[in-house]
Amino acid sequence: MTTTTALQALEDSSASVRLRAALEVGTTPDPSFVEPLMERCAVEPEFFVRDMLTWALTRHPAASTLPALLRALRSERAQARSQALHTLSKIGDGRAWPALTRTLLTDADDEVARSAWRAAVLLVPEGEETALAAALVTQLGRGGRETQLSLSRALVALGEATVPALRAATAAPDPRTRVHAVATERLLRDPDTGFEFAIEEAKRVVALGGSGQEGR
């Protein structure tokens, strides 16, 4: 498959053909491939193909991909924003940090927000961790288990910088926020604790009127 044919094949009806096409384009990177890859990322329905598209983008120099990825963060299409964030986290270029705005960290689409949390934790400059933690705790209690687990992982990854904001959140008026905050504190203290166990324990603590800080 030539690269020209591969670019055309990115829109094939067969997922296996699209996967092979993304592999081909990533194997022979060229700046002219970046836009077609980005366009496909925004609409590709199959996770494993999107993953290969991301890999293909990471094969290109950041000078070619970064401007396109930053533009995609402003897309009206949620998948375009999410995939751009995912790719930025894989590239790991700190120049993307200013684009990881509170708007993205609190995006109404759970997948976009989760991708933003992961990218932010990886790209946060030294000294900005406490401010990032303060922004992330505003999302405690949000969504289902998968979303809550993603947020807890992001907060735990920030380490001690998370503690002040988490402690404040354990006294939040919303019970879901308190439960999630207490559970995340438990995970921060003991990373080997399972998330489900931490949540159930936190529910008991909150139901009894506690904040998880008693006895410390």
Per-residue pLDDT of 181-204, as tens digits, reads 999 999 999 988 899 999 999 999
Residue partners of 6: CB distance under 8 A and separation at least 6? 20, 21, 22, 24, 25
**Residue count (the chain):** 216
Which pLDDT value is given to residue 2?
A: 66
Query: DSSP H helical segments within 73-109, as ranges?
Result: 78-91, 102-105
- Is residue 14 exposed (0-12), middle (13-18) or buried (19+ Cβ within 10 Å)? exposed
Enter the tokens of residue 191.
């990373």
Among 123, 141, 162, the domain-final residue is 123
SS3 100: coil
Residues 76 and 94 in one domain: yes
CA separation for the pair 150, 153 (Å, rounded): 5
Q: Name the domain boundary from 70, 96, 123.
A: 123
**CA gap 190, 158 in Å, rounded:** 14
pLDDT value, residue 216? 46
> What pLDDT, on a 0 to 100 scale, did the predictor assign at position 208?
85
C-alpha span between 87 and 135 (Å, rounded): 22
Q: 114 — alpha (psi -120 to 50), left (phi > 0) or beta?
A: alpha
pLDDT for 106: 98
104 and 59 housed in the same domain: yes
Residues 110, 175: one domain? Answer: no
Same domain, 159 and 182: yes
Last residue of a domain, one of 123, 150, 180: 123
Cα separation, 113 vs 85, whole angstroms: 9
Do 149 and 205 sit in the same domain of this protein? Answer: yes
Chunked mean pLDDT (size 10), the chain, 216 residues: 81 95 94 95 97 97 96 98 98 96 98 98 96 97 96 96 95 94 95 92 87 50
Domain span at 55? 1-123
Q: Are residues 118 and 205 in the same domain?
A: no
Give the pLDDT score at 84. 98
CA 216 to chain centroid, in Å, comes to: 33
Residue 196 and residue 145 in one domain: yes
Residue 61 shares a structural domain with residue 156 = no
Shared domain for 66 and 94, answered yes or no, is: yes
Task: Measure the CA dihedral 32/90/84/55, to 10°.
Answer: 50
Same domain, 15 and 68: yes
Residue among 101, 72, 92, 93 at smallest CA distance from 84: 72
The verdict on 27 and 119 lying in the same domain is yes
Q: 76 — phi, psi (to 5°)? A: -75, -15
Asked if 37 and 114 sit in the same domain, the reply is yes
CATH code (residue 96): 1.25.10.10
AA letter at 108: A
pTM of the prediction?
Answer: 0.91
The total domain count for the chain is 2
